[in-house]
Structure 1
Amino acid sequence: MSTEVLEARATSLRAVWPAILGLSVVFLVEMLDNSVLNVALPTIARELHATASDLQWVTSGYSLLFGGLMIAFGAIADRYGTRRVMLIGLTLFALASLAVLAVRTPAGLIAVRAAIGVAAAMTAPGTMALCFRLFDAENLLMRATGFISTVGLVGLAVGPTVGGLIIQVLPWQTLLVLNVPVVVLATLCIRFGIPADDPAHRNRTPLDLPGALLGTATIILALWTASLAVEDGLLAAVPWLLGAVAAGVGFVVRARRTAHPIIDFALLKRPLVGAGLAYQAALGLGMAVLAYSVSLQLQLVWGWSPAQAALGNLPQVITMIAVGPLVEGFVKKAGAHRAGIVGAAAVVAGLLLYGLLGRYGYLAIAAALVLTAAGMRVVMVIATVTVMRGLPADQTSTGAALNDTGQEVFSSIGLAVTGTIVASALSGSLADLDATAAHGFENAVTTATLVLTAVCVILAGWAARRSAAHSLADHGSR
């Protein structure tokens, strides 16, 4: 059966449920591996005699390679088959997860995490690219995108909790070994639920290997710079920042001089693509400041326990899950352009509420979490669909990778900005705040939130203008 026939028949999610299940599981395991191992770090430190630096690489190794390699593997998938690259990535994911059973040293665990990061980068671009292969109707694309992203967000939210429960009764290695049956399920669903890649739809241009290496170096160095800025301060990150800038300049020069760049900058000028990526960047910044600040404020300033702080973040998780099924109807009624503006406005309103009133009581924090979560849920789906709809058929995997990488990079930048502002306001450790230091922490959080909110407004405003330009052009062509 050809891809075109399947697309014509896919008039509901139920008609292609194995494919949707498989793609959802892939996204779930990617999100789980972002956070599930963090809860076991003290146990890992004791059993493997790991240093603080070792633990940092255990957590960073996955995210650096995952974020840094997505664009390169997206370009590879467009040329050699999106489904094929995803299935290879899933196989590597399972084998690397099983390899944890042989780990006896911190270096061994770092290598395992790095291999899993590479595997995740191979699978990530295909999640949305293969989803868009299944449907023509935009409402079905939004419904499928919303369902897949909801599964992933739930995994990200419950990962630490589930991990904590598991290591109470089982060895910490179980947290990675459990990837194997999940990956097997995903592999079966994708192999039998999605048709083989159609050679006619592949990108026939040669792969720009130097551009891929420069792009990967730029992203990895940028993510590492952001991580160092949070952990060790801005001065420690400056050399790596210079390296990221140099690699970035080299990437841009290469892209402008080669006939077939890994990312064609002309695509970014398309209204749909530019709008979607700008929205994703704004979301990355907004999610970062809340992820960094809320839990710290609840525990360090107000004295809540870790369990209470986890419960304090529940309004965000519940809202994202609850709003998911409503996005399609809202977008259909308001239109994608207006829905994007409303969603972005909700995010900005939530950030302002947290930045200005969050220090005065939990009710303001809860309301801020609800507003930002609802807005993010709407904008996330619209941005993804917008980017994918604006791309040529033979560059969807690259576009999906660019979409995900943009949000991850801006999230890291948001974390670095917030962490740097907070660190500059405090002279001592975050672990022991007196009344004066607590007041300084809250002032720093307010400053960071307002700074990042201002950038979010600029990005969202630009995205809305690009979206409006497309709407006018589309209306004029009818």
Structure 2
Amino acid sequence: MGFREAHDTTSHADTEPAVEGAGRAAVLWLACAAQFMVVLDVSVVNVALPSIQSALGFSAAGLQWVVGGYALVFAGFLLLGGRLADVYGRRRVFLWGLALFAASSLVGGLASTPGLLVGMRVVQGLGAAVLAPATLTILTTTFTEGPSRTKALAIWTAVSSAGGAAGNLIGGVLTQSLSWRWILLINVPIGVVSVLAALRLLPTDHTRTQAGKLDLPGAMLATLGVTALVHGVTQAQDHGWSGPTTLTGLAVGVLALAALAVTEVRYAAAPLVPPRLVRMRPIWAGNAVMLLAGACFIPMWYFLSLYMQDVMHYGALATGVAFLPHTLVGIAGARLAPAVMRRTGPRTLIMLAALLAAAGFVWQSRIGANSSYMEGLLGPAIVMSAGMGLLITPITTTVTSGIAAQDAGAASGLMNAARQIGGAVGLAALVTLAATATDATASYRTVFLAIAAVCTAVAALAFALPAPHRPGAAQAPEQ
């Protein structure tokens, strides 16, 4: 199905009243604040791990679950979290996610045992899986398709990029100046203010025809499949791709997702991922592009952080500060994306941005053991982060275009899941690849060249995306 056809047959279904005027801007920033919290908590704990281990007596094996518990549950429940907003209402599910996230952050920040902290990180991941798709769903149903939505998505993308990049800096500042506990407790006041704002700003949910028809078998299969797949991939980092735990996780994940596909097509009355969505060209091609993009950019932070601390011998706070150019350039790229899309269209911008990022990673691969910050990090940071900032907005715009209101949550959950799964698979594959190098510097060079190759594949895959119907009729806003 072409882009024009998909747009014409679905966009008219979005007939719910939109928030008007200044209220729309307030809703935008509310969604961005919630998304910032979710993305921030993926990385904010990294620099605090030594302090957490010392304070609570974690074993080396147990400590990884402070990060892994959150990431695993977050990825595993995204498809379910996205569909919840369609079935039970965006306002209601957004509030559920906020309350769950803030409450688990409070208990986790006060935890006195390793088990309680890991447990609360798991609950945080569940809250994040509900909240992240809801923020995107709220935006796509508040802003009508076209210039205003593209601009809103660009801001949402910029804030998401800032959250991921700022995690190391904020974690370092809070841990060094206050305590590791504040990397979790900081979410509580943000969550409370966001709940109060949501009660005031978001319109009351209308009764929906799908209410009470949540596809529970599909939800269980999707959660099991994605969780097992991500767990299997992460196990490859420690046990190799042929290890029993790796193969078991991958096999269970593939079988569960295959069963999900059969269930959704043949048996589900209200599918978790409606087959009509997957058949739409912007959806399947856009999510394939997002999967590869996640495999590039999520591992980038991991390897750059290790390079700065292990090779350049930066401390936690210095590492966070060194990431500032990545953050600022990424935000600038995301804000610039709508203006570029007006001239190029989403597909062309995806190609150009992916190639720009690839050039930055090739440059980054030239690092050496004695490289200075200016020589080894700043220049590549500007190029790769500009590509990253320009890339995500046109992908998000493509995936969310022409989606009926009743499917907005499913589309949002699918896109978020594609990005997280891509990141998990990419990280595990790159860690395995890095282990084959002869020394530390060579391993980083190999990794960054591999990421550049995947970015090039993103540019090639973009040819599968639909082109604008008319030359110059891109879906970008007028500034």
Query: If the TM-score is normalised by the length of the shorter chain, which range does it land in?
Result: 0.7 to 0.9
- Whether the 8 Å contact between 1:276 and 1:387 is mirrored in structure 2 is yes
Query: Aligned equivalents of 2:32 and 2:75: distance in 1?
Result: 19
For residues 4 and 194 of structure 1, do their structure 2 counterparts lie closer, same or farther at Cα, with a shift above 3 Å needed? farther
Count how many residue pairs are aligned between Structure 1 and Structure 2.
454
Q: Which runs of 5+ in 1 are unaligned?
A: 427-436
Deviating more after overlay: 29-38 vs 150-159: 150-159
Note if 1:280 corresponds to 2:290.
yes
| Contact 1:289–1:448, Cα closer than 8 Å, also in 2 | no
CA distance in 2, matches of 1:94, 1:199: 27
Residues 306 and 169 of structure 1, relative CA distance in 2, 3 Å threshold: closer
Secondary structure class of the residue paired with 1:471 = coil
- Counterpart of 2:53? 45
Find the partner of 1:377 among 389, 409, 422: 389
1:23 and 1:190 in contact (8 A); partners too: no
Is 2:143 aligned against 1:135? yes
**How far apart, CA to CA, are the structure 2 residues paired with 1:79 and 1:129?**
12
1:218 correspondence with 2:225: yes
Matched residues in 2 for 1:155 and 1:471: separation?
A: 35
Q: Relative to structure 1, is the Cα distance of residues 168 and 316 closer, same or farther in structure 2, using a 3 angstrom cutoff?
A: closer
Alignment partners' CA distance in 2, 1:234 and 1:143: 42
Match of 2:437 among 416, 425, 430: 425
Equivalent residue for 1:124, pick from 132, 143, 152: 132
- Deviations 1:272-328, CA, capped at 9 Å, x for gaps: 213321221221122144223333334434555555544443332121122233222
Of 172, 176, 187, which aligns to 1:179?
187
Shift of 1:381: 0.8
The answer for the alignment partner of 2:457 in structure 1 is 458
Unaligned runs of 5+ in 2: 1-13, 474-479
Give SS of 1:234's match.
coil
CA–CA distance in structure 1, aligned partners of residues 450 and 45 of structure 2: 32
CA-based RMSD: 2.7
CA distance, structure 2, for counterparts of residue 156 and residue 455 of structure 1: 20
Equivalent in the alignment of 1:244: 253
Q: Which amino acid aligns with 1:392?
A: A
Q: Please list the CA deviations of residues 89-148 of structure 1 after superposition, one character each: whole Å capped at 9, or x if unmatched.
A: 211222222223652211111111111111111111111110112222522112212222
- Confirm or deny that 1:405 pairs with 2:404: no
Counterpart code for 1:252 = A
Instruction: Tell me which of 94, 99, 103 is aligned to 2:107.
Output: 99
Asked if 2 retains the 8 angstrom alpha-carbon contact of 1:37 and 1:163, the reply is yes
| TM-score normalised by structure 2 residue count | 0.86
SS at match of 1:29: helix
Deviation (angstroms), 1:204: 6.0
Q: In structure 1, what is the Cα distance between the partners aligned to 2:236 and 2:420?
A: 16
Summarize the Cα distance change of 1:303–1:85 in structure 2 as closer, same or farther, 3 Å threshold: closer
> How far 1:451 sits from its partner (Å)?
4.0
Equivalent of 2:306, from 296, 305, 317? 296
| Map 1:220-235 → 2, pairs under 5 A | 220-235=227-242
Partner of 1:433: none
Indicate conservation of the 8 Å contact 2:361/2:452, yes or no: yes
Structure 2 matches for 1:50-449, cutoff 5 A? 50-100=58-108, 103-200=111-208, 203=210, 206-236=213-243, 237-260=246-269, 261-355=271-365, 357-359=366-368, 361=371, 363=375, 365-425=377-437, 437-438=439-440, 441-442=441-442, 444-449=443-448
CA offsets 1:351-399 (integer angstroms, 9 cap, x no match): 33334x3449563643333222222222211111211113222111111
CA contact (8 A) 2:354 2:387 kept: yes
Distance in 2 (alpha carbons) for counterparts of 1:4 and 1:269: 23
Contact 1:292–1:418, Cα closer than 8 Å, also in 2: no
CA contact (8 A) 1:418 1:445 kept: no
User: 1:25 and 2:33 equivalent?
Assistant: yes
One-letter identity of the residue aligned with 2:60: A
Q: Which residue identity does 2:87 align to in structure 1?
A: R
Name the SS of the counterpart of 1:277 in structure 2: helix
Distance 1:460 1:120 in 2: 30
Aligned equivalents of 1:206 and 1:122: distance in 2? Answer: 17
- C-alpha distance in 2, partners of 1:102/1:304? 29
Is 2:228–2:253's contact at 8 Å kept on the other side of the alignment? yes
Distance 1:150 1:382 in 2: 12
Label 1:184 to 1:381 Cα distance change in 2 as closer, same or farther (>3 A). same
Tell me which amino acid in the other structure corresponds to 2:353: G
Cα pair distance change 1:459/1:326, threshold 3 Å: closer
Decide whether aligned partners of structure 1 residues 258 and 369 sit closer, same or farther in structure 2, where only a CA change above 3 A counts: farther
* CA deviation string 1:149-186 (max 9, x = no partner): 32232232222322322233434323222211101121
Q: 1:396 to 1:228 in 2, by over 3 A?
A: same
Kindly indicate whether the alpha-carbon contact (under 8 Å) linking 1:273 and 1:391 is maintained by their aligned counterparts in 2: no
Higher relative contact order (CA 8 A, sep 6+): 2
Q: Once the two structures are aligned, what percentage of the paired residues are identical?
A: 28
Stretch of structure 1 that moved more, 229-238 or 152-161: 229-238
